[in-house]
């Protein structure tokens, strides 16, 4: 096997990448799915996750885990790492957002635009991908590697236009990587002098990139359906991330997978919203934390442990937090009784019902009898999301079949039980690598053109 | 500038090539599984460490209420470590299930296996593998403390 497909998922908190043989869709072998160790150069932590962060330091720029650590160390000096590129890349006026100067808390030297920092991060990511591919003996043998990246369906609906901008950024990043090479992976980052010399050249000489776009919902469809005899033709995906909850519906028409745009709903309430509900509930019930300082301290403790708290609440129905020697317990029932949650759940149920109506209608038109439902993202395990997927419908056909968040093939013997626990984090990159070209939302690249810089002033910090 | 000549590769030792090739083939799957395990353990380690610290606190608890409070945290940390390693509980405490010798470990004596049993302690599985069978009791038998 010499032709491989690589998919990059640059997530809000972490970037991930996976590779699979180009014919994996038609000849699926779980052992050939290769999540890539983007942080393989680190000796601690999860080697498959690359922190999505850039930190502009005194005389250098740090990337990934080093950027987070340095920003934490200087937290009291109002310095911040640039994170959440994904959120930036999905704004409606992307050009304007990219050409905005980075705020002072991120770039105290006032030399970088947001575009520059994203290009630098993408160069770091591409170098990490390159090194991870070389370290994987199966992937290293690839003679041809086709690339794609995963993204949510753009809210503006102009997928092709946004794709061209992203490809341009990748092209600039590739040019920068070619100039700087392995130095990008240094734990000490890159000196500003190196960047000042190489970045303008890279921006002016972007490389032509051949990289496709796959929607995250389609990637979810791919890892859910691959290798299944009864994969079904229609799928509804509920993707609850940190900032948004997206509902998308897909239909397979011949070899192609199309999105049913009328089913798409994006809600601004998602994981972060649930976090705030939980934190407010705990603080309301903590009778001993009445002063502003006490509440602020408790809020910070809660936010640091929120991932674990949510995981316990979702899995066990309750979570207990120890603070100042006292136990604070919160149950799923407490959350369900909250007025804000009730309003959110009502909207979510209606959005899901709408999406389901659209996808079932399309299934009927195409003579299909089944719609599959799947949840992805950080909220996939939430009982209220799983409850939605399994809710009985009023009409018997087409029937709705809830698929597990982790597909059965992730439990294959070859992985010795080790893929399934980390699968949710790597799922989109894996699905993106498995999907055939017909499933892509956009393909190919662009002829490189120099970036237009308009020096828009940053908003106040 | 002319390219430098490639250094000649050292010939492999006799008998080493087959073993080497086999190792090369076996390595990718093993190393990926190892790295995946490392990724899962990175988070499970922290939860286990927390459980150990809480266990000490439980052992030194002054009264029953304090002991129960800390025990809840021990259980929560252990559950989290197990989830990070892909372990899942089987069944529901107190539920009635059809007896299955492959899934159930029957408490108490009896000449014939029962048709229906009550779950007394949940089993643990990873994927399709049952690591610990669900402990069950006969219906009507006194509940274990």
Q: How high is the pLDDT of residue A12?
A: 78
Which residues of B are less than 8 Å from A420 in CB distance?
86, 126-127
Residues of chain B with Cβ-Cβ distance to A416 below 8 Å are: 33, 37
Q: What is the pLDDT of residues A211-245, one digit of tens each?
A: 999 988 889 989 988 877 666 789 999 988 888 88
Question: Which among B50, B60, B86 is the top mutation candidate for probing chain A, defined by the most A β-carbons within 10 Å of its own β-carbon?
Answer: B86
Average the pLDDT over each of A33-47, A143-157, A161-175, B76-90 and give the range with the smallest value: A143-157
pLDDT at A104 over 80: yes
Q: What is the pLDDT of residues B91-141, one digit of tens each?
A: 899 999 999 999 999 988 777 889 999 999 999 998 778 999 999 999 876
Q: For residues B116 and B94, what is the distance between their CA atoms, to the nearest angstrom?
A: 12
pLDDT at position A158, please? 62
CATH architecture of B87-145: Roll (2.30)
- B107 in reach of chain A (CB within 8 A): no
pLDDT above 90: percentage of residues in chain A: 56
What pLDDT shows up at residue B17?
Answer: 43
> If contacts are CB pairs under 8 Å, which of residues 125-184 in chain A contact chain B?
136-138
Interface contact flag, B79 A37, Cβ < 8 Å: no
Smallest Cα–Cα separation from A395: which of A425, A427, A371?
A: A371
Q: Can you tell me the distance from the alpha carbon of A48 to that of A38, in angstroms, rounded to the nearest whole number?
A: 5
ipTM of this complex: 0.74
Closest Cα in chain B, distance from residue A449 (Å): 33
Interfacial B residues in 14-73 facing A (CB < 8 Å): 24, 27-29, 31-40, 42-43, 47, 69, 72-73
A45: contact with B, CB 8 A cutoff = yes
Smallest CA–CA distance, residue A337 to chain B, in Å, is: 23
Q: How many CB pairs under 8 A join A and B?
A: 81
Query: Which pair of structure tokens corresponds to residue B86?
Result: 């892909």
Question: What tens digit of pLDDT does each residue of A18-42 get?
Answer: 999 999 988 899 989 999 999 977 7
Question: Which residue did the predictor score with more confidence, A281 or A286?
Answer: A281
Taking the CA of residue A379 and the nearest CA in chain B, the distance in Å comes to 16
Per-residue pLDDT of A366-423, as tens digits, reads 999 999 999 988 888 899 999 999 987 777 789 999 998 899 899 888 888 889 888 9
Cβ of residue A35 closer than 8 Å to a chain B Cβ: yes
**Contact between B39 and A422 using a beta-carbon 8 Å cutoff:** yes
Please, what is the average pLDDT of chain A?
88
pLDDT value of residue A154: 57
Cross-chain CB nearest to B36 (options A322, A327, A415): A415
A60-98 pLDDT, tens per residue? 999 999 999 999 888 777 889 998 777 777 677 788 888
Average pLDDT of span B22-50: 74
Residue A195's pLDDT band, with cuts at 50, 70 and 90, is very high
At residue B4, the pLDDT reads 41
Residues in chain B within 8 Å Cβ distance of A45 = 42
Side-chain-side CA neighbours of residue A114 (13 Å): 22
Q: Are strands A245-253 and A211-215 parallel, antiparallel or unpaired?
A: unpaired
What does the pLDDT average to over A323-340? 93
Q: Is B127 on the interface with A (CB under 8 A)?
A: yes
Whether B6 shows a pLDDT value over 50: the answer reads no
Q: Is A415 on the interface with B (CB under 8 A)?
A: yes
Q: Which domains does chain A have, with CATH numbers?
A: 3-214 (3.30.420), 229-406 (3.30.420.40)
Inter-chain touch B127–A311, beta carbons under 8 Å: no
Q: Which positions in chain B touch A411 (Cβ < 8 Å)?
A: 126-128
- Residue A461 has a pLDDT of 38
CATH 2.30.22 placement within chain B: 87-145
Question: Between B27, B83, B85, which is nearest A137 by CB?
Answer: B27
pLDDT at res. B26: 40
Residues from chain A that touch B86, judged by Cβ atoms under 8 A, are 417-418, 420-421
**Pairing mode, strands B104-106 and B96-98:** unpaired
């Amino acid at each position: 096997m010499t032709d491989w497909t690589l998919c990059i998922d640059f997530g809000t908190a972490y970037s991930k990448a996976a590779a699979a043989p180009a014919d994996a869709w038609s000849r699926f072998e779980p052992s050939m799915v290769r999540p890539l160790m983007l942080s393989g150069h680190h000796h601690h932590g999860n080697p498959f996750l690359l922190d999505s962060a850039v930190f502009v330091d005194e005389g250098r720029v740090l990337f990934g885990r080093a950027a987070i650590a340095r920003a934490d160390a200087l937290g009291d000096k109002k310095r911040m790492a640039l994170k959440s590129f994904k959120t930036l890349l999905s704004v409606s006026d992307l050009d304007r957002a990219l050409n905005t100067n980075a705020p002072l808390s991120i770039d105290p030297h006032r030399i970088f635009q947001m575009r520059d920092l994203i290009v630098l991060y993408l160069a770091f990511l591409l170098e990490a991908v390159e090194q991870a591919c070389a370290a994987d003996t199966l992937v290293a043998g690839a003679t041809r590697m086709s690339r794609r990246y995963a993204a949510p369906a753009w809210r503006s609906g102009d997928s092709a236009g946004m794709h061209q901008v992203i490809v341009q950024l990748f092209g600039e990043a590739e040019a920068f990587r070619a100039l700087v090479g392995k130095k990008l992976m240094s734990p000490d980052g890159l000196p500003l002098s190196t960047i000042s010399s190489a970045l303008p050249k890279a921006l002016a000489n972007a490389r032509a990139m051949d990289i496709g776009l796959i929607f995250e919902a389609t990637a979810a469809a791919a890892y859910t359906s691959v290798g299944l005899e009864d994969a079904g033709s229609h799928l509804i995906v509920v993707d609850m991330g940190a900032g948004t909850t997206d509902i998308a519906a897909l239909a397979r028409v011949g070899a192609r997978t199309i999105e049913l745009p009328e089913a798409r709903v994006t809600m601004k309430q998602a994981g972060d919203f649930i976090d705030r509900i939980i934190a407010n509930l705990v603080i309301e019930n903590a009778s001993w934390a009445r002063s502003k300082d006490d509440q602020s301290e408790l809020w910070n403790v809660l936010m640091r442990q929120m991932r674990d708290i949510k995981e316990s609440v979702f899995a066990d129905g309750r979570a207990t937090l120890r603070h100042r020697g006292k136990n604070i317990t919160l149950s799923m029932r407490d959350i369900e009784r909250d007025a804000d949650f009730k309003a959110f759940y009502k909207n979510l149920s209606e959005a899901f019902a709408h999406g389901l109506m659209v996808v079932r209608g399309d299934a009927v038109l195409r003579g299909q009898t089944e719609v599959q439902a799947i949840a992805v993202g950080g909220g996939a395990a939430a009982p209220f999301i799983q409850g939605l997927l399994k809710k009985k419908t009023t009409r018997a056909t087409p029937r709705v079949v809830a698929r597990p968040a982790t597909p059965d093939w992730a439990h294959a013997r070859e992985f010795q039980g080790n893929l399934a626990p980390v699968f949710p984090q790597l799922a989109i990159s894996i699905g993106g690598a498995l999907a055939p070209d017909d499933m892509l939302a956009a393909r190919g690249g662009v002829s490189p053109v120099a970036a237009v810089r308009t020096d828009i002033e940053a908003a106040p910090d | 500038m002319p390219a430098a000549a490639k250094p000649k590769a050292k010939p492999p030792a006799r008998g080493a090539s087959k073993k080497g090739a086999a190792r090369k083939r076996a390595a990718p799957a093993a190393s990926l599984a190892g790295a995946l395990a490392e990724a899962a353990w990175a988070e499970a380690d922290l939860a286990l460490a927390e459980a150990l610290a809480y266990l000490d606190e439980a052992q030194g608890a002054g009264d029953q209420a304090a002991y129960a409070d800390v025990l809840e945290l021990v259980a929560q940390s252990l559950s989290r470590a197990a989830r990070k390693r892909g372990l899942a509980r089987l069944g529901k405490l107190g539920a009635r299930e059809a007896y299955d010798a492959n899934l159930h470990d029957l408490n108490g004596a009896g000449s014939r296996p029962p048709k229906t049993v009550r779950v007394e302690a949940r089993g643990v599985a990873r994927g399709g593998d049952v690591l610990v069978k669900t402990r069950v009791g006969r219906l009507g038998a006194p509940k274990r403390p």
